[in-house]
C-alpha cells in the first residue's frame, strides 16, 4: 500500500521527502482544523449543562476560533521538518499546543494530531534514547505550562485538587507522547532491519555474480589452454611435414607419400581432440546421450607422444631416473600437456635440433626437463621456422600453478631453450614399480 502511495505521489510530481512531508503537514492541518471545529460544535451544543456549568460551555469568540485554527495550521506545517530535524519539529508542535491552551474555553482540552505525528517522527528518525527523553520532556512541559496558561480556572471551577489534576494530566501526556515515540521507534528499527537485509541480499547477489564471472573466466582460460595445446602440438607438426612433403614430391615421391599419410593421421587426431574440447563447452542437455567421452591423456600416453614427435622428424632422447609414484589425473594431464607444448615449441622454433627429455622421480617431487639445442633452420622447416612465439609458456605456467607446481622456461647458454616443470609428490603417494635409470633411444 505504501509503495502504491509513493507511486501515486510520484505521478503527481511530489518526489522529494520534504515535498511529501509538506503535503502530509497540509493534510494533518486540514484534519486538525476540521476535528477542532467538530469538537467545538459538540461541546457548545448544550453538553455543558450536564456538568452544571451552564449553556455557555464551549462558546468561543470568532477571533479566538480563527486564532486557534491558525495555530493548528502552523502545527501541521511544522511537520515539514519531521525527517530533517525531528526534535525541532516536536518542539514547534509543542509550542503550538501551548499557544492553543489559552484560546480554549474552560473545561475544554484539545490535543492536536500534529503533536502525535511529530512524536512518532522523533521515534522513527531520531536516536532512541534522545527520542524517549524528548517525548518525556514534551509531556512534562505541556502539562505544567498548560496548567499555568489555562488550568487554574478549570481546576477551581471543578473543585479538583491541583495535584490530582497535574498527576492525571502528566500520566495521560506521558502515555500519549511515549506511546507515539515507541511506535515510531519500532517502525524505524524495522525499516533499518529491512534495509540491512536488502543490502545483504544485494551484496550476496553481487558476490554470486562475481564468483560466477570468475568461474566463467577460469573455465575460459582452461578451455583456451586445452585448445592451444592441442592445436599447437598437432598443427605445428602438420605444417613441418607439409613443407617437407612439398620439397620431396618430385625428388622422393615415396617419402612424400609417407609424410602425407602422417599428416592425414595427425589431422584425424587433431580433429578428435578438438571435438573433445568443444564438447565440454556444450550444455549437457545438448550432448548425445550415447556419445562416448574420450579419456584425458595420462603419463601412460607419454611414450606415444614422443614417438609421434620422432615420426615428425624430431630427434627425441629420453632419460628416466628414480622410482615412479602415483599422481592424480590432473597432475598427469599437466605433465603431458607441458611435454606436448615443449615438443611443439621445439619443432616450431628450433626445427632440426635434437630434444632431450629428462624425467626424474625424486623423494618429494617429479621433475621434467625438456632441452633443445640451437635450431637447424635448413632442415625441413619451411615456413614454420619463421613462426612467432605464442602463449605457450604462459599456458604451461598456469597449468603448473593450478596443480601446485612450478615451471621455468629460459634460454640456454648454447642458444637453445630449456623448460623445467616440478610438481610436488602427493602425500602418501605409492610407487607404481621400480625402474632403474636408463636411456631410451
- Please give the pLDDT value at position 125: 86
Alpha-carbon gap, residue 345 to 382, rounded angstroms: 15
Could you report the per-residue pLDDT of 65-106, keeping only the tens digit for each? 889 899 989 988 988 888 889 889 888 988 888 888 888 776
Judgement on whether residues 223 and 359 belong to the same structural domain of the protein:
yes
Judgement on whether residues 221 and 154 belong to the same structural domain of the protein:
no
Tell me whether residue 167 is in a domain: no
Q: Is the overall model pTM greater than 0.95, yes or no? A: no
CA torsion, ordered 355, 346, 305, 238, to nearest 10 deg? -130
Q: Which of 129, 160, 191 is the last residue of a domain?
A: 160
What value, to the nearest 5°, has the Cα angle with vertex 232 and ends 231 and 237? Answer: 100
Distance of CA 156 to the CA centre of its chain: 70
**Residues facing residue 434 across a β-bridge:** none
Judgement on whether residues 105 and 227 belong to the same structural domain of the protein:
no
Nearest to 239 by CA among 354, 388, 384: 384
- Please give the pLDDT value at position 234: 67
Grid coordinates representing 43 are 461541546
Q: Which of 160, 180, 195 is the last residue of a domain?
A: 160
Q: Which of 160, 185, 201 is the last residue of a domain?
A: 160
Residues 6+ apart with CB under 8 A from 122: 86, 87, 89, 90, 131, 134, 135, 181, 184
Q: Write out 181-205 in H/E/C secondary structure.
A: HHHHHHHHHHHHHHHHHHHHHHHHH
Tell me whether residue 392 is in a domain: yes
Judgement on whether residues 428 and 346 belong to the same structural domain of the protein:
yes
In 326-421, alpha helices (H): 329-349, 392-402
Number of structural domains found in the chain: 2
Tell me whether residue 97 is in a domain: yes
Tell me whether residue 361 is in a domain: yes
Tell me whether residue 72 is in a domain: yes
Q: Is 435 left (phi over 0), alpha (psi -120 to 50) or beta?
A: beta
Judgement on whether residues 242 and 383 belong to the same structural domain of the protein:
yes
Judgement on whether residues 134 and 248 belong to the same structural domain of the protein:
no
Q: Is the dihedral of CA 75, 80, 85, 86 positive or negative?
A: positive
How do beta strands 355-361 and 316-322 pair?
Answer: parallel
- The percent of residues above 90 in pLDDT, for the chain, comes to 10
- Please give the pLDDT value at position 11: 74
User: What would the DSSP string read from start to end of 133-183?
Assistant: HHHHHHHHHHHHHHHHHHHHHHHHHHT--HHHHHHHHHHHHHHHHHHHHHH
Residues in the chain with pLDDT values less than 50: 48-57, 151-153, 155-156, 283-292, 376-389, 434-441
Nearest to 153 by CA among 209, 218, 106, 215: 106
Judgement on whether residues 400 and 326 belong to the same structural domain of the protein:
yes
Judgement on whether residues 235 and 328 belong to the same structural domain of the protein:
yes
Judgement on whether residues 238 and 116 belong to the same structural domain of the protein:
no
Give residue for cell 509503495: 3
Judgement on whether residues 224 and 110 belong to the same structural domain of the protein:
no
Judgement on whether residues 149 and 225 belong to the same structural domain of the protein:
no
Tell me whether residue 383 is in a domain: yes
Alpha-carbon gap, residue 117 to 161, rounded angstroms: 32
CATH code for the domain in which residue 419 is found: 3.30.565.10
Tell me whether residue 144 is in a domain: yes
Residue 55: give the domain boundaries.
Answer: 2-160
Judgement on whether residues 124 and 259 belong to the same structural domain of the protein:
no
Tell me whether residue 187 is in a domain: no
Amino acid at each position: 500500500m505504501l509503495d502504491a502511495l509513493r507511486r501515486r505521489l510520484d505521478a503527481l510530481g511530489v518526489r522529494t521527502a520534504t515535498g511529501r512531508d509538506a503535503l502530509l503537514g497540509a493534510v494533518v492541518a486540514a484534519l486538525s482544523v476540521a476535528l477542532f471545529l467538530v469538537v467545538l460544535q459538540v461541546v457548545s451544543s448544550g453538553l455543558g449543562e450536564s456538568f452544571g456549568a451552564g449553556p455557555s460551555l464551549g462558546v468561543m469568540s470568532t477571533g479566538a476560533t480563527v486564532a486557534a485554527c491558525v495555530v493548528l495550521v502552523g502545527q501541521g506545517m511544522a511537520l515539514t521538518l519531521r525527517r530533517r530535524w525531528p526534535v525541532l519539529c516536536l518542539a514547534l508542535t509543542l509550542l503550538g499546543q501551548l499557544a492553543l491552551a489559552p484560546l480554549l474555553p474552560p473545561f475544554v482540552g484539545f490535543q492536536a494530531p500534529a503533536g502525535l505525528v511529530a512524536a512518532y517522527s522523533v521515534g522513527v528518525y531520531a536516536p532512541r534514547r534522545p527520542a524517549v527523553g524528548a517525548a518525556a520532556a514534551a509531556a512534562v512541559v505541556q502539562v505544567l505550562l498548560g496548567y499555568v496558561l489555562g488550568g487554574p480556572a478549570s481546576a477551581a471551577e471543578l473543585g479538583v485538587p491541583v495535584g490530582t489534576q497535574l498527576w492525571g494530566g502528566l500520566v495521560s501526556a506521558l502515555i500519549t507522547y511515549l506511546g507515539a515515540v515507541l511506535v515510531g521507534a519500532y517502525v524505524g528499527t524495522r525499516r533499518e532491519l529491512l534495509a540491512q537485509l536488502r543490502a545483504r541480499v544485494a551484496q550476496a547477489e553481487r558476490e554470486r555474480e562475481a564468483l560466477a564471472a570468475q568461474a566463467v573466466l577460469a573455465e575460459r582460460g582452461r578451455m583456451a589452454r586445452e585448445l592451444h595445446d592441442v592445436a599447437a602440438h598437432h598443427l605445428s607438426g602438420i605444417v613441418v611435414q607439409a613443407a617437407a612433403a612439398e620439397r620431396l614430391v618430385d625428388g622422393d615421391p615415396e617419402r612424400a607419400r609417407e609424410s602425407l599419410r602422417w599428416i592425414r593421421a595427425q589431422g584425424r587426431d587433431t580433429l578428435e581432440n578438438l571435438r573433445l574440447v568443444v564438447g565440454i563447452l556444450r550444455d549437457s542437455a545438448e550432448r548425445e546421450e550415447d556419445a562416448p567421452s574420450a579419456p584425458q591423456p595420462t603419463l601412460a600416453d607419454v611414450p606415444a607422444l614422443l614417438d609421434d614427435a620422432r615420426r615428425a622428424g624430431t630427434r627425441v632422447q629420453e632419460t628416466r631416473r628414480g622410482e615412479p609414484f602415483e599422481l592424480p589425473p590432473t597432475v598427469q594431464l599437466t605433465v603431458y600437456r607441458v611435454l606436448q607444448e615443449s615438443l611443439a615449441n621445439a619443432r616450431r622454433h628450433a626445427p632440426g635440433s635434437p630434444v632431450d627429455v629428462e624425467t626424474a622421480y625424486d623423494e618429494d617431487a617429479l621433475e621434467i626437463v625438456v632441452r633443445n639445442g640451437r635450431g637447424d633452420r635448413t632442415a625441413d622447416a619451411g615456413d614454420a621456422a619463421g613462426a612467432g612465439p605464442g602463449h605457450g609458456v604462459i599456458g604451461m605456467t598456469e597449468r603448473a600453478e593450478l596443480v601446485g607446481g612450478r615451471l621455468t622456461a629460459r634460454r640456454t647458454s648454447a642458444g637453445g631453450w630449456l623448460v623445467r616443470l616440478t610438481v610436488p609428490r602427493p602425500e602418501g603417494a605409492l610407487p607404481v614399480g621400480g625402474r632403474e635409470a636408463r636411456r631410451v633411444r
